[in-house]
Amino acid sequence: GEEAVLAVAAGEEDALEELRHARSGGLVFVRPVFGAEGSSGPAVRQRARRCPPGTAEVPGEALRVLFLGDLVPHKGSEILFDAAQEVQRRGLPIEFHQLGRLHAPVPPARQSPGTLRIHGGFDPDGLPALVAAIRPHLAWFPAMAPETHGFALSDAMLLGLPVLARGLGAYPDRL
């Protein structure tokens, strides 16, 4: 297989290339994040206590990547669609899971059944249970526009997930 090196830190490298190399048997570097603050503050921290942290990868199972946020272009929806199609085309064992509002139906040409699972909107109080059910190995934020804070990033960090994000806006400073 391909050598896997996944640096969980912001970088300008193409997000698909980063994910393509994230495979079992390689090295995963995770920078722990402490003291994360978000607009939800104590409420998110309370919810986070009810959710188990990120799941260790088991040999032979698919890498589960969580896209936490609204499914819109500035949040990276087109990159998500492209990555899912490329993963499906190559037969790579990677699953993408999206949690967040849908502002329009996903066009059939952009769907990747079995590789991309659109879960849609959620009640914030139910987020820990949804994330626990998905058991993601990491949260991915392929945003195309800078975020000033990134509340979904706060939720992912408070839920104990390793984070892969682009070097845009607040992401580098927060990670």
Q: What is the pLDDT of residues 6-38, one digit of tens each?
A: 333 333 334 444 444 544 444 434 333 333 443
> Residues 34, 35, 38, 43: what is their CA dihedral angle, to the nearest 10 degrees?
100
Q: How confident is the model at residue 157 (pLDDT cuts 50, 70, 90)?
A: very high
**In Å, how far are 9, 161, 164 from 85, measured between CA atoms?**
24, 24, 19
Q: Coil, helix or strand for 30?
A: strand
Does pTM surpass 0.75? Answer: no
Q: How confident is the model at residue 67 (pLDDT cuts 50, 70, 90)?
A: very high
Residues 6+ apart with CB under 8 A from 13: none
pLDDT of residue 109: 82
Tokens linked to 44: 């998110």
Mean pLDDT of 96-114: 89
Q: How confident is the model at residue 3 (pLDDT cuts 50, 70, 90)?
A: very low
Residues 108-133: b if buried by 16+ CB within 10 A, e if exposed? eeeebeebbbbeeeeeeeebbebbee
pLDDT of residue 159: 93
pLDDT of residue 43: 43
Q: What is the mean pLDDT of the chain?
A: 75
What's the length of the chain?
A: 175
Tokens linked to 172: 């580098």
Residues 6+ apart with CB under 8 A from 103: 70, 71, 72
